[in-house]
Amino acid sequence: MNKELDKSQGTTALRDTFVARGVATAHPIVASRAAGAYLWDEKGRKYLDFVGGIGVLNVGHNHPAIVAAVQQQLESFSHVCFQVVSYEPYVRLAARLSELVAPSQGYKSVFLTTGAEAVENAVKIARGYTNRPGVIAFRGGFHGRTLLGMSLTGMSAPYKQNFGPFAPDVYHAPYPNAYHGITSDDALQALQAIFSTHIQPDRVAAIILEPVQGDGGFLQAPAEFMQALRELTTRHGIVLICDEIQTGFGRTGKMFGFQHSGIQPDLVTVAKSLAGGLPISGVVGRPEIVDAPLPGGLGGTFGGNPLACAAANAVLDIFEQEDLLERSVKIGEQLRAGLEELQGKHPEMGEIRQTGAMVAVEFVSDEQTRAPNSPLVQRILDTAREEGLLLIKCGVERNVVRFLSPLTVSDQDVSDALAMFGRALTTAKAAG
């Protein structure tokens, strides 16, 4: 390392030299420390973090209860592999998630490491249970960067690039999007067209969807669509998988996004905010479905790591003790009110989307055609960072700004974030 470079520049130079180009980094800063809703870079600059590791830190950075739980577990053991010997934090977490996902129904769990791994295992479980090959996903959905994850993901750039051929027997249907003229009926008719032209329903193992699309633009599936989907899958013996990797653990104002529609999925995938920053994921589902694979068919060396399980149990304690579901609703209401006030001055803010504290704004170039304004969004992210606010984008056209604040954030922090965003928007428009 060049000794004349400061520490931050040195890290950046090393990153450019030794880290794969395909790993994108949204902001050109190097983290030094973080606490609650704030992050500091190596130069000591403070940022209000409304990214949270992409929806991972619903309880904020370094919550003391999580730090204490991990430290306590670390003093006992950090790894033994659940496929070798079992341990209490894994089993207790499975029992607690069963009650949260489906009270008194005895749902079972398997724990893994990443969200993509949870998705892959959910599909594997569904295929094992039904003995069918087909899987239907939705346009705009994101389910990971593994081969099957990419195949299920309903976006081409940047995820699919030239990485094919992709996994077979995967089909995509439109996802409801009223702002762009796709109704629930349209989406349901498209499903029927898939059954008529591509694969019969008795050959479909699973339908997988996000109750609120995350990377696809924070689009919420209407309750009537979710209910119709539940009826259709039940009628045809298809496993309904709700991908709750980004929507889970309070982000939408309920513990899980599917709970807004009054349906009960067969399988639920979880990850991200489950363990407050430690890597863990899982599949939670009906026992007769989860038990379809024979012993040895599920697992992974690091799946359900003891430290991550301890952190996850601490996260669930925090939700019980700090009323974070109620707080999520209030944060979302405050963000929406502030954004609607800005929208009156900035017609480029085409649509504000809010489900609990899962909030986003789609930016358009024209109010009538609703053409995407992706360049403006990138300028907003860059100018917001200069203001001291970290945000990221989403949407198929990358023209949506998403807000992923901790659910522990204060009212004042939300007000400060709105003020920073407003200034950044004005500056970004002027620069265009």
Model confidence pLDDT, tens digit, residues 104-116? 999 999 999 999 9
Confidence of residue 432 (pLDDT cuts 50, 70, 90): confident
CATH 3.90.1150.10 domain span(s) along the chain: 7-63+323-431
Range 95-99 average pLDDT: 98
User: Looking at residue 155, what is its pLDDT?
Assistant: 95
pLDDT tens profile 279-327: 999 999 999 999 999 999 999 999 999 999 999 999 999 999 999 999 9
Instruction: Provide the whole-model pTM.
Output: 0.96
How far is it, in rounded angstroms, from Cα 315 to Cα 69? 10
Angle at 267 between CA 244 and CA 248, to 5 degrees: 20
- C-alpha separations of 248 from 119, 231, 298, 344, 348 in Å: 14, 23, 23, 32, 30
Pairing mode, if any, of strands 267-270 and 239-243? parallel
Q: Which two tokens stand for residue 174?
A: 């439109």
Q: Is a pLDDT exceeding 90 seen at residue 7?
A: no
Section 4-18 average pLDDT: 74
> Mean pLDDT over residues 391-397, rounded?
98
Kindly write down the DSSP assignment for every residue of 366-399, as one continuous string.
-TTT--B-HHHHHHHHHHHHHHTEE-EEESTTS-
Region of poorest pLDDT, from 13-17, 130-134, 188-192, 372-376: 13-17
**Cα pseudo-dihedral 422, 334, 406, 101, rounded to 10:** -140
Indicate the pLDDT class of residue 12, thresholds 50, 70 and 90: confident
- As given in the structure block, the two tokens for residue 273 are 């905010």
Q: pLDDT value at position 383? A: 98
How far apart are alpha carbons 218 and 400 in whole angstroms?
Answer: 9
CATH 3.40.640.10 given to domain 65-322 = yes
Residue 9 binned pLDDT confidence (cut-offs 50, 70, 90): low
How deeply is 412 buried, as exposed, middle or buried, from its count of CB atoms within 10 A (0-12, 13-18, 19+)?
Answer: exposed
**Could you report the per-residue pLDDT of 44-73, keeping only the tens digit for each?**
999 999 999 999 999 999 999 999 999 999
pLDDT digits (tens, 9 = 90+) for 232-266: 999 999 999 999 999 999 999 999 999 999 999 99
In CATH, the number for domain 7-63+323-431 is 3.90.1150.10
Distance (Å) of CA 127 to CA 214, 244, 360: 25, 20, 35
The count of C-alpha atoms lying within 13 angstroms of the C-alpha of 201, restricted to the half-sphere facing its C-beta, is 13
* 3-class SS shares of the chain: helix, strand, coil, % to 5: 40, 20, 40
Find the helix or strand (DSSP H, E) in which 150 lies.
helix 147-152
Contacts 24+ apart (CB under 8 A), 29-36: 29/385, 34/61, 34/62, 35/60, 35/61, 35/62, 36/60, 36/61, 36/62, 36/406, 36/408, 36/409
What average pLDDT score do residues 190-216 get?
98
Mapping DSSP to helix (H, G, I), strand (E, B) and coil, where does residue 38 land? Answer: strand
Q: Evaluate the omega torsion of the peptide bond into residue 375 and state whether it is cis, within 30 degrees of 0.
A: no
For residue 5, pLDDT beyond 50: no
Mean pLDDT across 39-48:
96
Q: What letter represents residue 264's amino acid?
A: Q
The CATH 3.40.640.10 portion of the chain extends over 65-322
Q: What is the mean pLDDT of residues 346-366?
A: 97
**Residue range 387-391: average pLDDT?**
98
Residue 109 Cα distances to 60, 284, 299, 382, angstroms: 26, 4, 11, 41
Cβ atoms of 282 and 97 within 8 Å: the answer is: yes
**DSSP states along 68-110:** HHHHHHHHH-S---TTTS--HHHHHHHHHHHHHHSTTS--EEE
CA 319 to chain centre: 18
Residue 313 has which token pair? 């149990």
- Is omega for the bond preceding 158 within 30 degrees of 0, making it cis? yes
Q: Which residue type sits at 61?
A: H
Buried b / exposed e along 124-156 (16+ C-beta atoms within 10 A): bbbbbbbebebbbbbbbbbbbbbebbbbbbbbe
Q: Which two tokens stand for residue 329?
A: 């609703």
Largest Cα span, the chain: 68
